[in-house]
Amino acid sequence: MIWRIGGSCAPMSNEMFIVKPCSTRAAFEGIPKHQAKLNLTDRSRRLLDKGYELIAVTDYVIVAKKDYEFTIFPSGKVLVKDIDDPDLAKTLLETLYGDLNFYER
């Protein structure tokens, strides 16, 4: 979540990831606190099972849509596009990370 403190944006986090605004567009990014190396092919199947539309799947990125568009990288970094509400971005990222089974070791 992002809190406005004295007119600036300060990234906030939950236990597993940091949420901060994207510097170049109306988007937010989720950044895992711990290093990850996701197999995007496997994770894309999980997203299909959860009702996401897959726009692109490569070894380097998944672009998926379920109300909002998500760009998912092997590092676990996720961009949520066309959103300006930090609370909604945090909720969407928590749901997406859960749908990816990101927290499963």
Phi-psi map region of 38: left, alpha, beta (phi>0 left; psi -120 to 50 alpha): beta
Question: In a 3-state reduction of DSSP, which class is residue 89?
Answer: helix
Question: What percent of the chain shows pLDDT beyond 90?
Answer: 58
- Say if pTM beats, i.e. exceeds, 0.85: no
Q: What is the pLDDT of residues 33-83, one digit of tens each?
A: 887 889 999 999 999 999 999 999 999 999 999 999 999 999 999 999 999
Residue 93 banded pLDDT, cuts 50, 70, 90: very high
Neighbouring C-beta atoms of residue 40, cutoff 10 Å: 18
Stretch 90-105: mean pLDDT: 85
- The more confident residue out of 15 and 92 is 92
- The more confident residue out of 21 and 2 is 21
Ordered strands of the 68-72 beta sheet: 2-5, 8-13, 17-21, 27-32, 78-81, 68-72, 62-66, 53-57
Residue 1 banded pLDDT, cuts 50, 70, 90: very low
Token pair listed for 94:
């928590």
Do 57 and 41 meet the contact criterion of CB atoms below 8 Å apart? yes
Dump the DSSP string for 51-84: TPEEEEE-SS-EEEEESEEEEE-TTS-EEEES--
Do 36 and 74 meet the contact criterion of CB atoms below 8 Å apart? yes
